[in-house]
Amino acid sequence: MNKSKHIIIFTMVLGLFGYSQSNNLTSSPYSLFGLGVESNSGTGRNSGLGRTGIALDASYGLNLYNPASLATVNPDEFILDFGGTGEFVNVSSNDLNEQSSTYNFSNISFGFNSGGNYGIAFSLKPASNVGYALTGIQSNIEGSTEQFITNIEGSGGLNELRIDYGRTLLKNLNVGLKASYLFGKIEENESILTTNSYLDVNEVNYYRGAQLGLGLQYKLKEKHNFGLTVDFPTELTGTQDVVIGKYSNSAYSLLEETEDEEIDNFSIPFNLRFGYSTKIKNILLAADYSKSFWSNTDQSDAIGEYVDQDIISLGASYSVDPRSHKYWKRVDFRMGLNYNSGYLKVDDTRIDTYAASIGLGLPIGKKSLLNVSYTFGKKGTTQSILIQENVNTLNINISLSDLWFQQRKFN
C-alpha cells in the first residue's frame, strides 16, 4: 500500500472517530461514578490476549501497552492501526433485567521506525466513557401528597491524544517515553416533572490535563522478556457550564445560566505495571500485573469511595508457522483471562470485573493483519443495592504495515 492510500484511510477513520465521540459510547450504570468507566480500547492482538502487552514487542503491529516496544518496530516500517468495539450488555439486579448495545472506535494510531534508530507512534483513543440513564425516580413533594418524577441521563467521556517514543538503549534493553493529553466533557441532564411544571437542569463538565509515562523492556537469553511501565500522577482541571430552565403553562423561563465555572480537579493516580512473556516453540505466553494507587488521591464520591486498583492479565497465542506461504499456518490463535479489582467500593463492595477472551490474527498480505477478538466479562454483583453487568465485547482491528523510508534505487 502506498503513502497516499495510507493518508486517505487515516483521514476517513479520523472523521468517523469524531462522529462516534458525539454519541453514547457505553451503557454501563457504573459510568455514573468519577469520569466514567475505563475504556477497553487497545491495538492489535492485545484484546485477544486478555489485555496483556507490557512485555510484548511490535512483531504483530503497534503495542501501546508499553512505549518501549516501539523500538522493536522493523526498520523503515510504517504501521497504520485502527479498530472498533461493540458492546452488548445485560444489566441485572434484584428487580431489573435490561439489554443494551453500544459501538465505539477503539483507537486510531500510526507509527514508524526511521532507519532502525527509534520508533515513534501517534494515537487518538477514548480514555473513559459515560452513558447512563436513571428514569422514573418517584419522590414526594415535602408537605404534600403530590409526587414528582426525576429522569437523569449522562453522556460523554475523556479522550487521549498521545505520542509514544521508544529506542534501544543497551543490548536487549529498550526504553520508552509516553506523553498524553487528556480532554473531554461529561454532560448530565436532569429533568424534574410535576403535575404543572417541568424543570430542566443541564450540567456540562469539561476536563483537561497532561500525563507522562515511562517504559522498559528487557530480553534475557533471547527467551525471557520482561516489561515495566510507570504512569505518573496528574491533575485534570475542570470547568462547568450550567443551564437551568423551567416549563410552566407551556411557557419557558431561564432560571440560571453560568459558563466556565471552576470545579474540583480530578486526580489521576500513580500507576505501576509489570509484564513477562516467553515463547515455547510456536506458543507465546504473557502475564501482566498492574496497580493504581487511587487511595492516595484523597478523592471522594457521594455514593462510593476510591480504593487501590489491581489488574491481573494472562494471555497465550499459537501459530503453526508465521513465515509459511500457506494462509492458515500463519493465522495467530489467541486466548486470555483478565481480573480487574476496580477502583470503586460501593456499600463496602468492590466493583470488580472478571473477563475471558479469544481472538484471531488473520493475515492480510505479507505483514498486515485483521485482528478479531471476543470477550465475555462479568462486572459488579446483584448483592445489596448493586447491579451486575454481563458484557459481550467484539473487537475488530486492522493493522496495515508497509515500508516507507527506503531510498529508491535505479539501474
pLDDT tens for the chain, residues 1 to 411: 444 444 444 444 444 444 444 445 566 777 778 888 888 666 778 999 999 999 999 888 899 999 999 999 988 888 999 988 888 888 877 777 778 788 888 889 999 987 778 999 999 999 988 888 777 676 666 655 667 788 888 888 899 999 999 999 988 999 999 999 999 999 988 888 877 778 888 999 999 999 999 999 999 988 899 999 999 999 999 999 999 988 887 788 888 889 989 998 999 999 999 999 999 989 999 999 999 999 998 887 777 788 999 999 999 999 998 888 888 889 999 999 999 998 888 778 888 999 999 999 999 987 889 999 999 999 887 776 678 889 899 999 999 988 665 555 544
Does 359 map to a domain? no
Report if residue 16 sits inside a domain: yes
Closest CA to 105 of 35, 42, 189: 42
Does 295 reside within a domain?
yes
Total number of domains constituting the chain: 1
Examine residue 273 and state whether it is found in any structural domain, yes or no. Answer: yes
Tell me if 154 is assigned to some domain.
yes
Q: Which amino acid is at 349?
A: T
248 lies in some domain: yes
In a domain, 384, yes or no: yes
Q: Are 297 and 267 in contact (CB under 8 A)?
A: yes
CA separation for the pair 198, 149 (Å, rounded):
10
301: its cell numbers:
464520591
Helix segments in 296-382, DSSP class H: 327-330
Cell of 103: 459501538
CB-facing half-sphere around the CA of 22: CA atoms within 13 A: 4
- With respect to residue 363, please indicate whether it lies within any of the assigned structural domains: no
- φ and ψ of 328, to 5 deg: -70, -20
Residue given cell 507490557 in the structure block: 54
Note the pLDDT tens digit of each residue in 373-402: 999 999 887 776 678 889 899 999 999 988
CA distance 234 to 271: 11
Q: Where are the beta strands (DSSP E) in 65-146?
A: 77-93, 96-113, 119-140
Neighbours of 405 (CB within 10 A): 13
- Compute the mean pLDDT over every residue in the chain, rounded to the nearest whole number: 84
Task: Kindly report the backbone phi and psi dihedral angles of residue 18, in degrees, each rounded to the nearest multiple of 5, phi listed first.
Answer: -60, -40
Instruction: Determine the length of the chain.
Output: 411
Query: All 3 cell numbers of residue 19?
Result: 462522529
Quote the CA–CA distance of 44 and 61 in Å, as a whole number: 6
User: Do the Cβ atoms of 223 and 278 come closer than 8 Å?
Assistant: yes
The b/e string for 172-184 (b: 16+ C-beta within 10 A; e otherwise) is eebbbbbebebbb
CATH number, domain of 280, equals: 2.40.160
Residue 387 and residue 91 in contact, taking contact as beta carbons nearer than 8 Å:
yes
Q: Which amino acid is at 264?
A: D
Domain span at residue 41 reads 3-352+373-403
Per-position b or e across 133-171, b if 16+ CB within 10 A of its CB: beeeeeeeeeeeeeebebebebbbbbbbebebbbbbeee
User: What confidence score (pLDDT) does residue 367 get?
Assistant: 81
pLDDT on residue 1: 45
**16-44, pLDDT tens digit by residue?**
444 444 445 566 777 778 888 888 666 77
* Tally of helices (H runs) and strands (E runs) in the chain: 2, 20
Query: Which residues are within 8 A (CB) of 224 and not within 5 positions of it... i.e. 6 or more apart?
Result: 276, 278
pLDDT (tens digit per residue) in 251-306? 888 888 899 899 989 999 999 999 999 999 899 999 999 999 999 988 877 777 88
Entry pTM: 0.86
Cα distances (angstroms) measured from residue 160 to each of 38, 120, 391: 12, 16, 24
